[in-house]
């Protein structure tokens, strides 16, 4: 009899855990669908974009040997260059990580653009854009950005546009294309959870 009671209690606990997990997964899915749907009309392919904004914002995403941009970064920078040359915005804001001396994303990003003929005086750099949220918050607070076209990969654009709007930036996003990434499933899975984190962040702050 005692064992039967224990088994019933264990069964009830498992049911509760299963219910909590199911609810959590449903909430995560709903948040992701909401963020993607609410920003979808503002995310454009290069061919479909014809807007004009104050800034082009380029989000950092890794460098090699403190001198070479990753393929992810190259695609973002190349798209930003195309947009600048098309007249999408008169200024470019490069945002990335430079917390330590031997890792300087924004310097690598800037050098890449200078090497391809972008005038130095149109480039501004935020070397403490350590996350998408921090990039958008600092763009407003430190660089007085009111409107922008945001350049990053498609999987990342919904969250980037959502966060920019949360901080009051009038914006659209343009998809950075070029390379195919074998790690794309990992990037997408990480983004799935990052959307939830930043959705909650927007509610709190």
- Token match 């990969």: residue? 153
The bridge status of strand 63-64 relative to strand 91-95 is unpaired
- The answer regarding whether domain 39-204 maps to CATH 3.40.50.620 reads yes
- pTM metric for this prediction: 0.91
Q: Which residues are bridge partners to 150 per DSSP?
A: 57, 173
pLDDT tens profile 40-70? 999 999 999 999 999 999 999 999 999 999 9
State how far Cα 193 lies from the chain centre.
12
pLDDT tens profile 165-181? 999 999 999 999 999 99
Phi, psi of 127 (to 5 degrees): -90, 10
Residue 97 backbone zone (phi > 0: left; psi -120 to 50: alpha; other: beta): beta
Asked if 195 and 157 touch (Cβ cutoff 8 Å), the reply is: no
pLDDT tens profile 29-42? 999 999 999 999 99
What pLDDT sits at residue 204?
Answer: 84
End-to-end CA distance of the chain: 53
Q: Point out the residues of the chain with pLDDT beneath 50.
A: none
Please give the Cα distance from 87 to 69 (Å, whole number).
24
Q: At what angle do helices 132-143 and 154-166 cross, to 10 degrees?
A: 40
Q: At what angle do helices 184-204 and 154-166 cross, to 10 degrees?
A: 10
Pair of tokens at residue 156: 């990342």
Pair of tokens at residue 25: 């997964």
Asked if 129 and 95 touch (Cβ cutoff 8 Å), the reply is: yes
What pLDDT sits at residue 178?
Answer: 94
HSE-CB at 127 with a 13 A cutoff on CA atoms is: 12
């Amino acid at each position: 009899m005692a064992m039967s009671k224990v088994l019933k209690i264990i069964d009830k606990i498992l049911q509760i855990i299963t219910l909590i997990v199911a609810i959590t997964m449903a909430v995560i899915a709903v948040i992701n669908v909401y963020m993607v749907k609410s920003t979808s009309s503002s995310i454009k392919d290069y061919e479909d974009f014809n807007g004009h904004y104050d800034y082009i914002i380029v989000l950092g995403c890794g460098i090699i040997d403190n001198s070479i941009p990753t393929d992810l970064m190259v695609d973002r920078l190349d798209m930003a260059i195309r947009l600048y040359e098309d007249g999408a915005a008169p200024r470019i804001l490069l945002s990335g990580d430079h917390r330590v001396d031997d890792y300087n994303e924004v310097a690598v990003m800037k050098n890449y653009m200078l090497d391809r003929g972008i005038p130095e005086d149109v480039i501004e750099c935020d070397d403490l854009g350590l996350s998408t949220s921090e990039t958008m918050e600092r763009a407003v607070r430190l660089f007085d950005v009111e409107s922008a076209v945001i350049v990053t990969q498609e999987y990342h654009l919904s969250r980037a546009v959502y966060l920019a709007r949360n901080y009051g930036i009038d914006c659209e996003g343009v998809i950075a294309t070029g390379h195919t990434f074998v790690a794309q499933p990992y990037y997408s899975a990480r983004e799935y959870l990052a959307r939830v984190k930043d959705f909650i962040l927007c509610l709190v702050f």
